[in-house]
Amino acid sequence: MKGLIQRVTHASVTVDKQTVSAIKAGLLLLLGVEKSDSPETAEKLCRKVVNYRVFPDDQGRMNRSLLDTGGSLLVVPQFTLAADTQSGTRPGFSVAASPDHAEAMFQAFLAVSEQHLGSAAVGRGQFGADMKVALENDGPVTFLLEVGGEPG
């Protein structure tokens, strides 16, 4: 499972010109699910995301996490993050999860996120939709986080 996190001052997701979710300060997470990912993988990545220290402390150092700051999390399913880009000029998706499995892992990730942060602090994109994601990247601060699933 891969997660691209961006520290944001605000972010939103729009589907068919309707805003389906929006957050103020916090993290935007683009979530890529692979075939081998499981609910345990979702839990591991979620713990990493909410505890990852990307927010400034009193000295301006990245030393505070989303949990420390009380910020929000906007989770957007991002199929293309599971692409194999190692060779050629066209991405391959042989390791990407099937749509059914990816949606189940997206929902599992959201459930764990709500346990850690509370449901009011977790926004979500719409699985399978043509989404427009708007954000103001703070810093900019962007990190790719990865945790492995069990082969299966």
The Cα 73–Cα 11 span in angstroms is 9
Q: CA 72 to CA 74: how far, in whole Å?
A: 7
Whether 78 is catalytic:
yes
Pairing of strands 131-146, 2-15: antiparallel
User: Which of 41, 78, 106, 109 is the catalytic position?
Assistant: 78
Catalytic residue, from 79, 126, 142, 143: name it: 79
Instruction: Indicate if 86 belongs to the active site.
Output: no
Give me 31's structure tokens.
């979530």
Catalytic (active site) residue 18: no
Residue in the structure block whose two tokens are 């449901």 = 119
**Catalytic one of 9, 19, 80, 115:** 80
What is the C-alpha separation between 62 and 132, in angstroms, rounded? 29
Quote the CA–CA distance of 59 and 73 in Å, as a whole number. Answer: 24
Catalytic residues: 78-80
